[in-house]
């Protein structure tokens, strides 16, 4: 029985061997057809920079890698792969930063980095505080005039290359029309696009309060609104945020007087007497906000008028340490010009 079985197995053994070899070749080809080897570009994940550091040039977005694995797996997971850089390897200046690893690689897929490093250039960015300037077009109707305007905020902090910041001394806001304006109004405008590489820190929205009054002389009891509040005695290392930017007053005058005389001849002041202690690195006193009483100061031409009411009589003041350019003189506000810190409005 066994002999008969062996006889059948060895019968035509050459043909059977050839058939086995052919079958093996087909099997190997079939398996190889499922394995894919290709080169792809994977994105590079760059770490965020802290402080005033910035990527000087756009670093390489991708690096080439060779992937090997089952065709369906490679084609699907390739989209999730990315190259990772260790933040500790990113240094100031120009350096070749190593690619530490490729993430998003599934089990069974082999990845070979065809590029081991990427060139990265890191530069220091400067800060500069410049004033905002509003531009008007047109004019109010006859017998009306624009008296004052208050821009809030008055200044903006810019960041960029120091050599680019040197060229900027102020930022012009979009034009505001005064045509047909007969009463005070407020308008919010947006800081326009700045030269490439210059960025605005904080909000780009600016509020402009414009005071328009009639050209008339009156006697007796009257009211005047839109008188800017001045922060008196402010420490140069601090910024003060007032809960109100303007006050309105009710006054009495025996002599005919123009509203313009009131708004140009009267100053509303609050004492800003908090200080910054550089040794303790804190604002003294620590309790905020400060509640301050508004004081009205009249020039000599208005000594004869009587102030009946101030609205509001008190305001709140919040202090914060002024941002400084670390490379600049701490007494310099960054504009290249001496700007009084106690005048919150631009009177024209």
Q: In this predicted model, what pLDDT tens digit does every residue of 137-169 receive, in sequence order?
A: 998 988 788 877 889 888 998 888 888 888 899
Give me the number of domains the chain comprises.
3
Output the domain CATH number for residue 197.
2.170.120.40
Using left for φ > 0, alpha for ψ between -120 and 50, and beta otherwise, residue 24 falls in: alpha
pLDDT at 201 over 80: yes
As a whole number, mean pLDDT of residues 212-217 equals 72
Q: Which range is most confident: 2-11, 184-193, 319-328, 336-345?
A: 184-193
Pairing type for strands 35-45 and 82-84 reads parallel
- To the nearest whole number, what is the mean pLDDT of the chain? 81
The predicted structure's pLDDT at residue 178: 93
The predicted structure's pLDDT at residue 12: 65
**Both 229 and 313 in a single domain?**
yes
pLDDT at 260 over 80: no
Assess if residue 5 is contained within a domain: no
Least confident of 2-16, 57-71, 257-271, 297-311: 2-16
Percentage of residues in the chain having pLDDT higher than 70: 80
Output the domain CATH number for residue 230.
2.170.120.30
Assess if residue 59 is contained within a domain: yes
Assess if residue 294 is contained within a domain: yes
**Both 81 and 95 in a single domain?**
yes
**Both 205 and 163 in a single domain?**
yes
Percentage of residues in the chain having pLDDT higher than 90: 29
**Both 313 and 236 in a single domain?**
yes
**Both 224 and 315 in a single domain?**
yes
The predicted structure's pLDDT at residue 344: 38
**Both 196 and 227 in a single domain?**
no
**Both 235 and 312 in a single domain?**
yes
List, in order, residues 6 or more apart from 336 with CB less than 8 Å away. Answer: 169
* pLDDT level of residue 55 (50, 70, 90 thresholds): confident
**Both 92 and 133 in a single domain?**
no
Which of 184, 214, 244 corresponds to the end of one domain?
214
As a whole number, mean pLDDT of residues 25-49 equals 73
pLDDT at 348 over 60: no
* pLDDT level of residue 3 (50, 70, 90 thresholds): low
* pLDDT level of residue 329 (50, 70, 90 thresholds): very low
Which of 80, 106, 123 corresponds to the end of one domain?
123
Assess if residue 11 is contained within a domain: no
pLDDT at 335 over 70: no
List, in order, residues 6 or more apart from 78 with CB less than 8 Å away. Answer: 40, 42, 67
* pLDDT level of residue 20 (50, 70, 90 thresholds): low
Assess if residue 282 is contained within a domain: yes
As a whole number, mean pLDDT of residues 314-341 equals 58
The predicted structure's pLDDT at residue 339: 33
Which of 123, 141, 165 corresponds to the end of one domain?
123
What is the Cα Rg of the chain in Å?
Answer: 37
**Both 299 and 235 in a single domain?**
yes
Least confident of 89-93, 173-177, 239-243, 268-272: 89-93
pLDDT at 347 over 50: no
Q: What is the pTM of this model?
A: 0.46
* pLDDT level of residue 326 (50, 70, 90 thresholds): very low
* Residue span of the structural domain in which 235 resides: 220-321
The predicted structure's pLDDT at residue 13: 61
pLDDT at 346 over 70: no
The predicted structure's pLDDT at residue 330: 40
**Both 93 and 142 in a single domain?**
no
As a whole number, mean pLDDT of residues 88-92 equals 79
Assess if residue 1 is contained within a domain: no
**Both 59 and 148 in a single domain?**
no
Assign 3-class secondary structure to the chain: CHHHHHHHHHCCHHHHHHHHHHHHHHHHHHHHHHEEEEEEEEEEECCCCCCCEEECCCCCCEEEEEEEEEHHHHHHHHHHCEEECCHHHCCCEEEEEECCEEECCCCCCEEEECCCEEEEEEEECEEEEEEEECCEECCCCCCEEEEEEEEECCEEEEEECHHHHCCCCCEECCCEECCCCCCCEEEEEECCCCCCCCEEECCCEEEEEEEEEECCEEEEEEEEEEEEEEEECCCCCEEEEECCCEEEEEEEEEEEEEHHHHHHHEEEEEECCCEEECCCCEEECCCCCEEEECEEEECHHHCCCEEEEEECCEEEEEEEECCCCCCCCCCCCCCCCCCCCCCCCEEC
Assess if residue 342 is contained within a domain: no
Assess if residue 95 is contained within a domain: yes
Question: Which pair of structure tokens corresponds to residue 128?
Answer: 């500069």
**Both 208 and 116 in a single domain?**
no
* pLDDT level of residue 337 (50, 70, 90 thresholds): very low
Least confident of 46-55, 97-106, 311-320: 46-55
* pLDDT level of residue 324 (50, 70, 90 thresholds): low
């Amino acid at each position: 029985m066994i002999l008969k079985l062996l006889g059948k197995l060895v019968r035509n053994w050459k043909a059977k061997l050839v058939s086995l070899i052919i079958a093996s070749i087909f099997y190997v080809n079939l398996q190889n057809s499922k394995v894919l080897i290709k080169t792809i570009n994977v994105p590079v994940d760059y770490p965020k920079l802290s402080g005033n550091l910035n990527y000087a040039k756009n670093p390489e977005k991708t690096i080439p890698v060779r992937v090997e694995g089952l065709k369906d797996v490679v084609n699907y997971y390739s989209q999730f792969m990315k190259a990772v850089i260790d933040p500790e390897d990113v240094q100031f200046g120009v350096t070749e930063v190593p690619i530490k690893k490729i993430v998003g690689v599934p089990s069974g897929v082999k990845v070979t980095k065809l590029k081991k490093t990427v060139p990265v250039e890191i530069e220091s960015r400067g800060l500069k505080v410049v004033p905002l300037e509003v531009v008007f077009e047109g004019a109010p109707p006859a017998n009306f005039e624009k008296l004052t305007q208050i821009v809030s905020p008055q200044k903006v902090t810019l960041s960029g290359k120091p050599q680019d910041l040197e060229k900027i001394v102020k930022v012009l806001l979009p034009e505001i029309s005064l045509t047909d304006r007969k009463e005070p109004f407020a308008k919010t405008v947006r800081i326009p696009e700045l030269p490439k590489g210059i960025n605005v820190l904080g909000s780009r929205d600016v509020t402009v309060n414009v005071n328009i009054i009639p050209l008339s002389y009156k006697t007796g009891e009257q009211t005047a609104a839109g008188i800017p509040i001045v922060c008196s005695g402010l420490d140069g290392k601090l910024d003060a945020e007032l809960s109100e930017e303007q006050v309105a007053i009710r006054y009495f005058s025996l002599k005919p007087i123009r509203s313009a005389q009131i708004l140009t001849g009267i100053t509303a002041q609050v004492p800003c007497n908090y200080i910054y202690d550089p040794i303790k690195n804190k604002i003294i006193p620590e309790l905020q906000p400060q509640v301050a009483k508004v004081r009205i100061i009249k020039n000599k031409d208005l000594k004869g008028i009587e102030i009946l009411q101030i609205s509001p009589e008190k305001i709140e003041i919040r202090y914060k340490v002024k941002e400084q350019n670390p490379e600049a003189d701490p007494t310099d506000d960054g504009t290249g010009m001496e700007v009084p810190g106690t005048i919150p409005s631009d009177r024209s």
